[in-house]
Structure 1
Amino acid sequence: MLKNILIVGAGFSGAVIAERLSKTKKYNIVVMDKRCHIGGNCHTEVDPETKILVHKYGPHIFNTNNLDVWNYIRTFGTFNNFTNRIKVNSRGTIYSFPINLHTINQFFNVSLSPSEAAQFIDQKRDKSIIEARNFEEQALGMIGRDLYEAFIYGYTKKQWGCDPERLPASILKRLPVRFNYNDNYYDKIYQGIPQKGYSNIIENMLDDKSIRVLTDTPFDSSFDVSSFDHVFYTGSIDSFFDYKYGKLGYRTVTFEEERTIGDYQGNAVINYADLDVPYTRIHEHKHFSQKTNFKKTIYFREFSKETEIHDEPYYPKRLKDDKEALEKYQKDIEKKQNFTFLGRLGTYRYMDMELVISEALRISRNFKI
């Protein structure tokens, strides 16, 4: 007899679990999501007016060094070779970002070689910081105060809603600093965006007769799971337990959509580093595509804010109070039989798409009932 599986969430975590288990022919699978669409925060759709593929919850560029993950995801759709070359507006001037040799030479009005630039920044950084206790100390120890205040401080404070001194140093370790002219934001071997969008990829993953997809179907503690042999839960931990130990801290983002003729900013993403600019970045979606013949354009101004009950959580803050509450929730999770919590929300961790997919592949390989 086939076992019944419930998967809460139709993002990548849930879709990978569903797709992998469907291939075993051992399960009847239900995938449910509270939203009216699949894809989670990676959801994409073609704008009917402009025909531009829009990342509805902000841009997502797939990047990985894991060949197994790269080969797996490409079985469900063709990827373009998009390279994320971000620019940053600081004090009214546009710079290359992440910080590289071009940024350093332009900002300090010098013409340094790679080795000269490395020595130059070494003189700028705060060498009294041996082990950074927070985000700001990490930055000052890496690049010094000038570059930190020009490119990092304001953007970070807007994005996280608190002073960088309150944030863990680990957040900044993801930001590269280069002493060459490489302006590729990511340093991964495999990069790109699905030509038909992420929602098309996930739709293909869920295209199996053993999988039933229910959208507009919220899950809460009153949901009857008695007919299922196992539940994979990819929603937020605190909401699952009705916030009994308090709400975990997340930042969320909101968008102001604009349309115009032609090309608005000439690049996919431009960050705004200054505190007197209320948004963190502008992304123009036509530039994520390999097509160049769009007559109109769509761009989003992105704002960061604290997550409230009805907002979609994006970035786990993981401050001291959050970690203390998380430990309590994790102890309750250990008592839950026939449940698996996974994904960014289900584990309260910052996870790129490649890690989400890799984790779900591992869990599905080891799953047996």
Structure 2
Amino acid sequence: MNILLVGAGLSGAVIGRQLAEAGHDCRIIDSRPHIGGNCHTQRDPETGVMLHLYGPHIFHTDDEGVWAYVNRHADFVPFQNRVKTTSQGAVYSLPVNLHTINQFFGTTLRPDEARAFIESKADNSIADPETFEEQALRFVGPELYEAFFKGYTEKQWGCSPRELPASILKRLPVRFNYDDNYFFHRFQGMPRDGYTAMIEDILDHPRITVELETSYDPAMADDADHVFWSGPLDGFFGYSLGRLGYRTLDFERFTYQGDYQGCAVMNYGDRDVPWTRITEHKHFSPWESHEGSPCYREYSREAGPKDIPYYPIRLVEEKSLLTQYIDLARSQEKVTFVGRLGTYRYLDMDVTIREALDTAGVFLGAEKAGTAVPAFVNSPQ
């Protein structure tokens, strides 16, 4: 069969490779001048540092199959993301852990003591938190909320934490030990030569062709037996019902000679600091040595029509519009919507790869059974 995959990021690459290995001809197009989507990495011509051009990506997973898959296509080096935050004139470790608690409150609490102490700070009158703010006040209390979550969240999402669902904060753990590893998964690492090299290896198959700086034209589908769409869900329909909301990021680069901040990621929790964080990219490759150090201040704002979409907003208005687009997508034939943009969800890299592998499996199973491939293997809702 002739398969058209729109988008040369992780979703398109992994699905394309699986189908190519099964004997299908896969044409992958991307409007950007490079593969990899927002995972794209490249060497900085000024300093030689490996840059994560669209913000840092750290690979972490508990999925053994996905870990084995990426290690077939790249040499992964162990890497743990140890995030710091500047708040109220001091530097602390994130996620909030026993060191953070003791430093912030000027105490020397043991784990059980710290657990009881934080519980005493919590607002136990909030039985079922519905908003981000209620979730924070219920589980960490007002002081930690104000210092580490409120200002950062207002900058990241452009609205009050009272307007955000509690589910956003459930991804941020509080630890009652001294573990400052930002992630908790068994497998964590970085591809030694960057993500773009890994995706190049995935795409290296005689049945795969890649065309960059090529925008999708609906007429392309006429020559394809099936289309996998990893672009924006609303974009497939020409935004005919309106645009789904996203946050985007602006990056302000500066170069430092030496070590600027001593860590890869420094958050800024105070509301009066306009950026959300500074990333120092040579720390994402600690096995390398570079004197020059490219750093990026990161600013979050609402995405406009010409901006790169990063984080789906998914508040009430967007969810209502999303339902309409889902119904429209399910009325299509021979099109499957995949990935972060195609399903309007925030996805980590490991989940993106797992879903791509599963989607390819569903397609091959449907082909064998002579049944239709669904518009969504993974529901956006």
Question: 2: CA distance between counterparts of 1:172 and 1:331?
Answer: 30
What is the aligned partner in structure 2 of residue 199 from structure 1? 196
Of 172, 178, 186 in structure 2, the residue corresponding to residue 175 of structure 1 is: 172
Alignment partner of 1:254 is 2:246: no
What is the aligned partner in structure 2 of residue 245 from structure 1? 241
* TM score, norm. by length of structure 2: 0.94
DSSP-derived class of the 1:309 partner: coil
Question: 1: CA distance between counterparts of 2:253 and 2:48?
Answer: 15
1:212-240 deviations in Å (ceiling 9; x for gaps)? 101111225x4431000000000101111
What stretches of structure 2 of length at least 5 have no aligned partner? 368-381
What is the aligned partner in structure 2 of residue 290 from structure 1? 286
What is the aligned partner in structure 1 of residue 111 from structure 2? 114
Alignment partner of 1:43 is 2:34: no
What is the aligned partner in structure 2 of residue 7 from structure 1? 5
What is the aligned partner in structure 2 of residue 358 from structure 1? 354
Q: How does 1:130-145 map to 2 (within 5 A)?
A: 130-145=127-142
What one-letter code is carried by the residue in structure 1 that aligns with 2:299? F
Please provide the CA RMSD for this pair.
0.9
What is the aligned partner in structure 2 of residue 279 from structure 1? 275
DSSP-derived class of the 1:360 partner: helix
Q: Which moved more, 1:97-106 or 1:283-292?
A: 283-292
Question: 1: CA distance between counterparts of 2:349 and 2:287?
Answer: 24
Alignment partner of 1:148 is 2:145: yes
| Count of residues in Structure 1 that have an aligned counterpart in Structure 2 | 365
- CA shift for structure 1 position 92: 1.7
What is the aligned partner in structure 1 of residue 125 from structure 2? 128
Question: 1: CA distance between counterparts of 2:252 and 2:5?
Answer: 32
DSSP-derived class of the 1:217 partner: coil
Question: 2: CA distance between counterparts of 1:70 and 1:6?
Answer: 27
What one-letter code is carried by the residue in structure 2 that aligns with 1:264? Y
Q: Percent identity?
A: 52
Question: 2: CA distance between counterparts of 1:309 and 1:293?
Answer: 39
What is the aligned partner in structure 1 of residue 211 from structure 2? 214
1:42-99 deviations in Å (ceiling 9; x for gaps)? 0000112211100000000000001011001110011111100000000121001110
Of 295, 299, 304 in structure 1, the residue corresponding to residue 300 of structure 2 is: 304
What is the aligned partner in structure 1 of residue 324 from structure 2? 328
Question: 2: CA distance between counterparts of 1:201 and 1:313?
Answer: 23
Question: 2: CA distance between counterparts of 1:285 and 1:327?
Answer: 39
What one-letter code is carried by the residue in structure 2 that aligns with 1:169? A
- CA shift for structure 1 position 293: 2.4
Question: 2: CA distance between counterparts of 1:171 and 1:47?
Answer: 34
Question: 2: CA distance between counterparts of 1:61 and 1:238?
Answer: 28
Question: 1: CA distance between counterparts of 2:343 and 2:43?
Answer: 31
Q: How does 1:81-100 map to 2 (within 5 A)?
A: 81-100=78-97
Question: 2: CA distance between counterparts of 1:347 and 1:278?
Answer: 31
The answer on whether the counterparts of 1:235 and 1:345 sit within 8 Å (CA) in structure 2 is: yes
What one-letter code is carried by the residue in structure 2 that aligns with 1:142? F
What is the aligned partner in structure 2 of residue 337 from structure 1? 333
- CA shift for structure 1 position 292: 4.7
Q: How does 1:56-71 map to 2 (within 5 A)?
A: 56-71=53-68
- CA shift for structure 1 position 246: 1.3
DSSP-derived class of the 1:193 partner: strand
Superposed structure 1 runs of 4+ greater than 2 Å apart? 290-293
Q: How does 1:310-321 map to 2 (within 5 A)?
A: 310-321=306-317
DSSP-derived class of the 1:225 partner: helix
DSSP-derived class of the 1:363 partner: helix
- CA shift for structure 1 position 22: 1.0
What one-letter code is carried by the residue in structure 2 that aligns with 1:19? R
- CA shift for structure 1 position 305: 0.6
DSSP-derived class of the 2:308 partner: coil
Question: 2: CA distance between counterparts of 1:362 and 1:28?
Answer: 19
- CA shift for structure 1 position 291: 2.8
* TM score, norm. by length of structure 1: 0.98
Question: 2: CA distance between counterparts of 1:223 and 1:148?
Answer: 52
What stretches of structure 1 of length at least 5 have no aligned partner? none
The answer on whether the counterparts of 1:80 and 1:290 sit within 8 Å (CA) in structure 2 is: no
- CA shift for structure 1 position 127: 0.3
Of 160, 163, 170 in structure 2, the residue corresponding to residue 163 of structure 1 is: 160
